[in-house]
Homo-oligomer: A and B are copies of this chain.
Amino acid sequence: MKLNIALLAGDGIGPEVIDQAVKVSDAVAAKFGHEISWTPALTGAAAIDAVGEPYPDETHEACVAADAVLFGAIGHPRFDNDPSAKVRPEQGLLKMRQKLGLFANVRPTFTFPSLIEKSPLKKERIEGTDLVFLRELTGGIYFGKRGREDNDNTAYDTCTYTRAEVERLAKKGFEMAMQRSKKLCCVDKANVLETSRLWRETVQKLEKEYPEVEVSYEFVDAVAMRLVQWPSAYDVLITENLFGDILTDEASVISGSMGLMPSASLGEKTSLFEPIHGSYPQAAGKDIANPLATVLSAAMMFETAFGLKNEAEAIREVVNRSLAEGVVTEDLSDGGKSYKTSEVGDWLAKNI
């Protein structure tokens, strides 16, 4: 099979971790007889520096032409301390999501037995946790009308959802639930928000099409609590853009394996895969960043974008082996022997 993949390394540690995912992907492709053609393209601060735009047209064209996009991380401290900066890396992210129609962000949280001690939660709380958030990614308050009024003294943002937008996301949730434990939780704030009431209504109607799925409805504040108390109670959760932003980040740290969590953003035509961690500028260029989340994102890509399940399994398997044998970067080495980012990538590629 020929796989055309756009490669958006981005900023900070992005290029370093992407390099390892490329090595591992090439190794798995060689093993299974596929050929990957990588098309690198600029994004984030790197793109702002080069062409003044965080998501340039050429990058968009490369993504549209590809079968899938592998993404590193974006963001640079230079922009963080200046909230009024006109062009910001994050805008590139939002523009990319919208222009590529990446409406469903898939964010799993699971535990690695060997890393469970790294969780801020007690072992008995986190054990067995294996949940996945489906966050709506191209609607809601992120993309509604916003502005100032009254001489700049009043600001507003608008949260908007259409029934079709909710349905599209919710259907993915039901389908995912059917493939897992047939439990779906719809997270909203229907006791206050009209958009949440539309969500709830729409999901309630869909229940009839998926009679096997057991659906629960919980308020976002309650979920923020229960994720810390009993994360293993959840399986598939669906929610709108802003709630998803907050809750998926909360969920990402409870497992203690944030540096290992992959994600996918799915659209009708294309899909994008990226580690959930950020660009970690302090570590950039030092060859110390943990590449496993990006490598596991490549595994998700093989499985989700290309339907190549065995290839994905091969990657996951070698990652598990590297953890078991202690071939890990310093964040996971507990003061013992640690390996460089590139060494971990080499080891994974060799042992696949």
Contacts and interface: CB of A to CB of B under 8 A. Distances in A.
Contacts of A221: 245-246, 249
A217 B80 CA distance: 10
Q: Is the interface of A mostly helix, strand, loop or mixed?
A: helix
B198 A225 contact: no
A84 B157 CA distance: 25
A220 B191 CA distance: 22
Interface residues of A, number: 59
Contacts of A220: 245-246
A153 interface: yes
A190 B122 contact: no
Nearest to A248: B221
A298 B155 CA distance: 37
A57 to B, nearest CB: 23
A254 interface: yes
Contact of A159 (B122, B157, B222, B243): B157
A90 interface: yes
A148 B245 CA distance: 24
- Among A189, A217, A228, the most chain B Cβ lie within 10 Å of the Cβ of A228
B148 A162 contact: no
Interface in A136-190: 141-142, 144, 146-148, 150, 153-164, 189-190
Nearest to A191: B90
A238 to B, nearest CB: 16
A121 interface: yes
Contacts of A283: none
Interface in A288-316: none
A302 to B, nearest CB: 28
A114 B220 CA distance: 30
A76 interface: no
A192 B153 CA distance: 18
A200 B81 CA distance: 11
A342 interface: no
Nearest to A79: B191
Contacts of A200: 83
Contact of A157 (B122, B163, B193): B193
Interface in A231-255: 242-243, 245-247, 249-250, 252-254
A125 interface: yes
Given A161-B154, A246-B220, A249-B224, A194 B121 contact: no
Given A121-B122, A156-B144, A247 B224 contact: yes
> Which of A122, A220, A245, A246 counts the most chain B CB atoms within 10 A?
A246
A94 interface: yes
6 contacts: A120-B228, A144-B156, A154-B161, A224-B247, A224-B250, A225-B250
Given A155-B198, A156-B159, A224-B249, 16 more contacts: A83-B191, A88-B191, A121-B122, A141-B141, A146-B194, A148-B198, A155-B160, A157-B158, A157-B159, A157-B195, A189-B245, A220-B246, A221-B246, A225-B250, A228-B253, A250-B250
Which 8 A-B pairs have CB atoms at the shortest separation, nearest pair first?
A155-B198, A146-B194, A224-B250, A221-B249, A155-B194, A155-B195, A153-B163, A156-B160
